[in-house]
Structure 1
Amino acid sequence: MKCINSYLAFAFLCASFGLQAQEIIRDTTATAAQPDKPVTENLRRKIDGVIATVGDYNILDSDIDKTFLEITSQGGSVAGITRCQMLGKLLEDKLYAHQAIQDSIIVTDDEVKSKMEEQIGYMVEQLGAMDKVVKYFKKANEEDFRTDLFEIIKMNRLTAEMQRKIVDAVEITPEEVRSFFKKIPENELPVFGAEMEVAQIVITPKVTDAEKQKVIDKLKEFKKDVQEGSSFATKAVLYSQDKASVPNGGFYKMNRKTPFVKEFKDVAFSLGEGEISEPFETQFGYHIIYVEKIRGQEVDLRHILLTPEISDAALKEAKEKAETIRTKIVNKEVTFADAARTESDEKETKANGGTLVNPKTQDTKFELTKMDPTLYSQVSNLKEGEVSIPQIDIEQSGKKRYKLLTVTNRIDQHTADYAKDYIKIKELALKEKQIDAIAKWFDEKIKETYVKVNGEYRNCEFTNNWLKK
């Protein structure tokens, strides 16, 4: 388990802004770096050249230096990571990408450009200006920065899609989970941190018809402007209240399985290429959608979200309703779960008595050290069964609502128990099986792929059999 965790941590560290575009340069000899030493011990460098090849991809000696540089520029630590280890990670990435192309996994330039603009928008927002971003990543100019970032994103997408294809095929049975658990020595059983189960009742302020119509009229105005030549993307950047898509002009790529609300998907898939929808309502507010491209079962679209203004009177009314519900629960006139089923405005939780589902584990338990900080601050001081006072909650779209929260169950830190912690144990067992599947995949693909490691790097001790010994 410790080895697995160390490997995953290292892989995550390396999956940063560090994979550079490859250039074929004839290998040359000069002062040799010591690839088996940590980077901090390597003060002298080999003249740049091809140090390894995987299929159609070359890796340069400078790619290792660039990767170390990118990690440290983002505050990551490279202490103890050798050039051999870094080369091993780059070799893995290239094999994933090479095999993704062989398996006809497609990552389009439009998809990469969209992701690139999203990332650049975020970087500019954090650093203040594009020239500061270029300087931060030590690039000569914006064009070089964009070229490198494009190649990095494309490589990462190919790698991710190939990894997903491998692990998605892995399934695990209850008997395999049981066998996995039985094989763990008693003194090595994992310890799970303190957890809690939480439920909530949501009261959403009522919006007046006048405010709704104001938003609908504004969206119709946007549609008319675009039809007369204005940019939909610019409108989205300036006016949309969907913070997640604003940096890339309201853009989303989706298919029938993409987890968007039904109303949004119904409209998106009813439009033809180049069409703009009429304003329509979802739980998030009012939208218009512009379909840019239809690609088989996938749709490239942009949207603008506007939420109607909520009056102070409506907010006050919602708070008073929440306070009345709380009083009934405290006086034991109704249970929290029954009140959630009859009074809560949140469709996702009201049917199961307001119980929240952990989005990371799809379980109802939240580990305290990994909880969303906002949620933790709201429930950490509640005793089991205690109901919070009405708390105002601001959604990502900017909509305000009131919540009542309660802790339905507290679970102390404990050693893994098969019956109580089955879902977590199943997750650990599945991860182990996925790692085994990836290791087997590497063994098979390295044998059938052209791989060459040059010079002093042939003395490296790799986890995978890159030297084909």
Structure 2
Amino acid sequence: MNKGYKLFAGCMACLLLAGMSANARQTGRHAAANDTAVVAKEEPKAPESAVIDEVVWVVGDEPILKSDVEVMRMQGQAEGMKWAGDPDCSIPEQIAVQKLFLHQADLDSIEVSESDVTSSIDQQIDYWLQMTNGSKEKLEEYRGMSIAQMRQQMHDDFKNQQLITKMRQELVKDITVTPADVRKYFEKLPEDSVPYVPTEVEVEILTRQPKVSQDEINRVKEVLRSYTDRVTRGETTFATLARLYSEDPGTARQGGELGYTGRGTLDPAFANVAFNLTDPKKISKIVETEFGFHIIQLIDKRGDRVNVRHILLKPNVSQDAVDKAKLQLDSISSDIKAGKFSFEDAASFLSDDKDTRNNHGLMAYNDRQNQTLTSKFQMKDLPTEIAREVEGMKVGDISKPFEMVNSKGKKVCVIAKLKARIDGHRASITEDYQVMKDLVLAKKREEFIHNWVVDKIRHTYVRINDRYKDCKFEYQGWIK
């Protein structure tokens, strides 16, 4: 359900170390173990160009191979990435830093769910498919392997990427800044370094969900019952049917498997059924949620987490129902313009959108990068359909009714009001305090992470190849 997959900037952009096979790692460990024996024989060193692979760094008990460095170099070139300083020095350093975070994540028992890893891999493959106009055959030909092989190759690296991200978040979760910190930073900032704030808008929405006919609901339920019968009779497996027919794009490719999940992250109706399942051979009754209708199969339970498969089907909405919902919104809009009630009152009492109804229709943006919730959206962060409508509107205008797919994957009809627009400008501490606070907080977190890495290096065994000892590294202490 995410909009798309984006690579992390900075050192996080370097995390996709595709191609580090188990055999290569094992070879690296043997090379590290036999290194002293090679030196003892004092054999003449082969030219560097003649060496196929070798251990170039050791961090803790983990080797970094020459091939690891070359893989990251090629990955960076393919992504158009620019390295800070000499790539021959910065690339192995970034790999070494990743190993420090992964080591700490292991010590702190940081975990990521298999479903999250799979979802990220799916997003990457979908992005690649877009580059080949959706041609699976062209993608497989270009990368020289099947889609299944791509998934297998990327799994460990994507899992490590998420572990590192989660570890970094854990390290800085308690860091805060005060208004005094923000003022002090802003006063010292040169005028040409003050950040530019793009145009931001505040938008209120009122939605009506077209009514699905009972005949369509009965049709969907009958299809789900047929799936249950086919699995029960042994004609096929639940996972096969999920891959073929489930309308949940995040799990269909995995045979409907969610991965180990806590109750709090699931729809309440779904969770009540999933956590009450006891027999993996039986399939649940049909469950209705905000997303549609489901059947569920238990895989396993671990404490307060459950792993299940599910098949989701969404009833189709007829054009007549859509037209009816738009007429209702037209009527509501006319009453608002006639002064019978305000848009905010109408959104509170008449809107079908639970996320905005309690806030008088005002939309909220969850800025995950800065871990903040705000009513101000940059145009690029609005749902496409809403951004298209409000782009040419004046403050106070109400749009004509339009269709969109909401966050639950359902078609809804909407009218939108442009509550406020703040044109792009240089940030000021009076008008853009949150922007400045986020900037100062990011700087403070960055400094903390830098100091943590330096301290971690100081307490970790590190051995590097002599040819790296004249490098200018970002972090101090690599050379003991």
Shorter-chain TM-score bucket reads 0.7 to 0.9
Is residue 375 from structure 1 mapped to residue 382 from structure 2 by the alignment? no
Q: Which moved more, 1:415-424 or 1:345-354?
A: 415-424
SS of residue matched to 1:420: coil
Structure 1 contact 250–304 (Cα < 8 Å) conserved: yes
Distance 2:310 2:93 in 1: 42
* 1:381-392 pair list within 5 angstroms: 381-392=392-403
SS of residue matched to 2:248: coil
Residue in 2 that maps onto 1:414: 425
* 1:50-449 pair list within 5 angstroms: 50-73=55-78, 75-78=79-82, 82-106=87-111, 114=118, 118=122, 122=126, 126=130, 133=139, 135-137=141-143, 148-229=153-234, 230-253=236-259, 255-256=261-262, 259-272=265-278, 274=280, 276-360=283-367, 361-395=372-406, 399-449=410-460
Please report how far the alpha carbon of residue 347 of structure 1 lies from its aligned counterpart in structure 2 after TM superposition: 1.0
Please report how far the alpha carbon of residue 318 of structure 1 lies from its aligned counterpart in structure 2 after TM superposition: 0.8
Structure 2 contact 197–424 (Cα < 8 Å) conserved: yes
Structure 1 contact 54–98 (Cα < 8 Å) conserved: no
Amino acid of the residue matched to residue 421 of structure 1? D
Distance 2:248 2:148 in 1: 29
Is residue 453 from structure 1 mapped to residue 457 from structure 2 by the alignment? no
CA distance 1:225–1:214, change in 2 (3 Å)? same
Residue in 2 that maps onto 1:39: none
CA distance 1:417–1:263, change in 2 (3 Å)? farther
Is residue 9 from structure 1 mapped to residue 9 from structure 2 by the alignment? yes
Please report how far the alpha carbon of residue 196 of structure 1 lies from its aligned counterpart in structure 2 after TM superposition: 0.7
RMSD of Structure 2 on Structure 1 (CA): 3.2
SS of residue matched to 2:469: helix
Distance 1:419 1:343 in 2: 36
Q: TM-score, normalised by structure 2?
A: 0.82
Amino acid of the residue matched to residue 300 of structure 1? N
Please report how far the alpha carbon of residue 185 of structure 1 lies from its aligned counterpart in structure 2 after TM superposition: 4.4
Aligned residue pairs: how many?
A: 448
Please report how far the alpha carbon of residue 211 of structure 1 lies from its aligned counterpart in structure 2 after TM superposition: 1.9
SS of residue matched to 1:464: coil
Amino acid of the residue matched to residue 336 of structure 2? I
Distance 1:14 1:351 in 2: 42
CA distance 1:248–1:389, change in 2 (3 Å)? same
CA distance 1:250–1:169, change in 2 (3 Å)? farther
CA shift digits 1:72-116 (9 cap, x unpaired): 34x4344776121111111111111122223333468x6698458
Q: Which moved more, 1:433-442 or 1:48-57?
A: 433-442
**Runs of 5+ in structure 1 lacking a partner?**
1-7, 33-43
Structure 2 contact 263–304 (Cα < 8 Å) conserved: no
CA distance 1:79–1:56, change in 2 (3 Å)? closer
CA distance 1:334–1:144, change in 2 (3 Å)? closer
Q: Which moved more, 1:83-92 or 1:96-105?
A: 96-105
Distance 2:152 2:314 in 1: 38
Amino acid of the residue matched to residue 442 of structure 1? V
Q: Which moved more, 1:125-134 or 1:349-358?
A: 125-134
SS of residue matched to 2:340: coil
Distance 2:399 2:150 in 1: 50
Structure 2 contact 17–71 (Cα < 8 Å) conserved: no
Distance 1:142 1:56 in 2: 33
**Runs of 5+ in structure 2 lacking a partner?**
1-7, 39-44
CA distance 1:301–1:330, change in 2 (3 Å)? same
Please report how far the alpha carbon of residue 142 of structure 1 lies from its aligned counterpart in structure 2 after TM superposition: 8.0
Structure 1 contact 451–466 (Cα < 8 Å) conserved: no
Please report how far the alpha carbon of residue 51 of structure 1 lies from its aligned counterpart in structure 2 after TM superposition: 0.4
